Amino acid sequence: MPVQKIRNLGQVGMVTDVASYDLPMMAFEDARNVRFVDGKIQRAPVHRTIGNLGNSDPTQTYSPNDAIALGKDTMDSAYGGPGGSNQMGGMPTATKVIGEFPFTNGTLTTGLSVGATVTLTTPRKITITCWNTPSSTNSYFRINGTDYAGNALTSVIKQLPQETGDVVATDEYFKTVTSIEFGDATMGSGSWNFGNCHIGTGDHVEADYQPQHVVNMTEFDSNTTMLIFDNIGRVLRFNNDSVTNVSIPNYNYQPLNGTWTTVKQAGVLYANNSNGTPMFIKKGQTNFQDLTNWVGATTKCKALRGYKDFLLALNVNKAGVEYPTMIKWSDVTPYNTVPATWDETDQTRSSGENILSDTQTEIIDGLTLRDDFIIYCDKSIYKMQFVGSPFIFSFMKIYDDEGIINANCVVEVAGVHFVFGNSDIYMFDGTARKSISAGRVRNKVYERLNKNLISKCFVSHDVTNKQVYFCYNTTNDEVKYPNADSCNEAVVYNYVSDTWSFCDIANAVSGTMSILQKGKTYDDTVTGALSYEDFSGSYMSTEGQRNDALVFLHRPSTDDNITQYKMTALDFIQDGLVAYSIDTEMETTPFVSKANIDMDELTDLEGRKMIRKITPQSFVKNTENGSIYFQFGSHEYPSNSPVYDPSQTFDSSTAYKLDTRMNGRYLSFKLETDKKVDFEISGFDLDVVPQGRR
């Protein structure tokens, strides 16, 4: 029997929604951390660490009960006291001003007099720390003062510390503190007891440090610059390994628990959290500012986007009243300025608003597409077009059976949107929608997708490698990071080769294309900061070079051995251009597996076949770092799992074939490596012979 010549092995890519025995040889039902490009199977890009961000804000020091102390118990031996118990209790609620018993003037580090108001440099949470015998279990407190804008602020009632060394913090951030109330759980007339505690403030407690979104800002700076937005509205600027705080000065830090959207428009970068209010920064400015001329502090929007010379607020909440299908737009905005007004009643301006009255689902996000703006609702799609005065914009429904799964789940590529929908992944050209996942990977994606964490989904475009990452969380045990609370898997579409693949991603929350203009150098290999094995490309090839890469922002996941917040860039091992070390916490195993090869073009399905030899068309780059491994298997029935022979090492620099005697009705093979090597395989010659029936 002639040798079977298999070429363009990576032509089809992954197809998981069709039975494996119905697939051609060039389609794979199982693969991970590889990509299918130009008819080849290649190792997917690896993660290189460009920034370790720690588990606390690197721009500040955490200290729960010093900084500006409101009161320190005089019985604490750490402050010269005898170390005994100092208790205060009662039946009705007691309100104590600053410095009042058990806190005296001598223990106030600010030198304030009794009854004074403590003013903090920046808004902070107030903490109570128990240093000795815990307080009564029925004892509670709340803090009175003002927020960053001078508005009266009272914290929610919280239980006093219950264990020595415990720290209890308010949820709210105070600019000033005037008094502390002690009482029972309702601040009523029940008994309570307070003792052996310090009341004070340090910087923001570490639990508030939750980076959630990253955006490239290189066009505002000549160096590698990214902005990182966290859960309390803090903004950190990452620039060539250094981190600085560029938040709004005296910002009213509060837990937001919303979704960030950003837009770069006319020389200004805008950012919005769905539970906050918009902010902006211009080139040359050192800090963000509240968006000037915004509708008001009580008006919020789910997403902020740009279209032509307008800013758009999508899904608006006015003073607690929700308008989930409203689009509100600003006045025309010249370059390097912010909108002068959002007032829809001003007839001399172009600002306005519109409610999509013929849809029953809320607006989730939107994005410019050529000359139009596309509005994506939960279950519908609208087109918004500029028509000029007096209406400014027109609105037209395009579809009412599909929308978008979450904000930040659409990207534009060459005049087409790629959209992560609620039940399909599709392309939209402004007129027609075309599924790119149906009959290929759609069923697998939506069966695995964790419906409880849809709010974590996002989409990122890897411009360099012509791929779109559709990221989501799954509880499936195939993933490397099963305990992640954000995205731990991406289904990746290569839009040049029209192929799909699946990749592990380590608890990612956001992604952005960035220009990495500085990396490690030769000196770093000498000091041990970078190994020759980890280095990408040649030293000369990376010197002074602009390297565009997709950057992911990751959250810690202790049970998955992801120890801290960090940013990584996707890059190849030997052929890459990002001169940073491979992240050791994010090393993954690439593999492809093909089962149920029936070879029915050689003999009928009842007949058995035996593989005698395989001659791969494969190439491993830098075989000094390792090789790839093949396994061959077989089984008798389509529903059975293959039984594999031990793996065989294939070194393309010293060998050209692999011998085997695997036989059965259905044949299988696997290809994988655990080494730091790039590889590709485009086909093989398969020496297979019929073995008769039994």
Q: Which pairing describes strands 27-28 and 13-14: parallel, antiparallel, or unpaired?
A: parallel
Q: What is the 3-state secondary structure (H, E, C) of 354-394?
A: EECCCCCCCEEEEEEECCEEEEEECCCEEEEEEEECCCEEE
570/392 Cα distance (integer angstroms): 42
346-352 — which CB contacts under 8 Å span 24+ positions?
350/310, 350/389, 350/392, 352/328, 352/392, 352/393
What's the pLDDT score for residue 525?
47
Each domain of the chain, given as residue ranges in start order, spans 4-42+590-692, 45-60+458-588, 77-202, 209-457
What's the pLDDT score for residue 520?
53
What's the pLDDT score for residue 174?
83
Encoded amino acid at 2, one letter: P
User: What tokens appear for 17 in the block?
Assistant: 């929604």
660/614 Cα distance (integer angstroms): 8
Looking at domain 77-202, its CATH architecture is Sandwich (2.60)
Looking at domain 4-42+590-692, its CATH architecture is Sandwich (2.60)
209-457: CATH class: mainly beta
Cα separation values, 500 from 17, 26, 230, 437, 440, Å: 12, 12, 32, 8, 8
What lies within 8 Å, CB to CB, of 139 at 6+ separation is: 159, 160, 182, 183, 184, 192, 193, 194
Are 4-42+590-692 and 209-457 equal in CATH topology?
Answer: no
User: What tokens appear for 633 in the block?
Assistant: 């298997």
Sheet (strand 425-428) strand order: 410-413, 416-420, 425-428, 433-435
Residues 23, 13: contact at Cβ < 8 Å? no
User: What tokens appear for 606 in the block?
Assistant: 């009842």
Helices (H), 482-543: 522-527, 539-542
What's the pLDDT score for residue 279?
97
Residues constituting the chain: 694
DSSP output for 661-692 = --EESEEEEEEE--SS-EEEEEEEEEEEEEEE
670/672 Cα distance (integer angstroms): 7
What's the pLDDT score for residue 473?
98
Record the pTM. 0.85
Cis peptide leading into 134, omega within 30 of 0? no
Torsional sign, CA 221, 222, 227, 233: negative
Torsional sign, CA 430, 433, 437, 443: positive
Instruction: Give me the average pLDDT of each 10-residue run along the chain (694 residues).
Output: 86 95 93 97 96 82 42 51 58 65 41 68 74 70 84 90 79 83 85 68 61 88 82 89 86 82 94 96 91 94 97 96 97 95 95 93 97 97 94 95 97 97 98 97 97 97 97 95 97 98 98 78 49 51 66 96 96 87 94 88 76 89 79 87 91 88 89 92 90 68
Helices (H), 405-560: 442-448, 522-527, 539-542
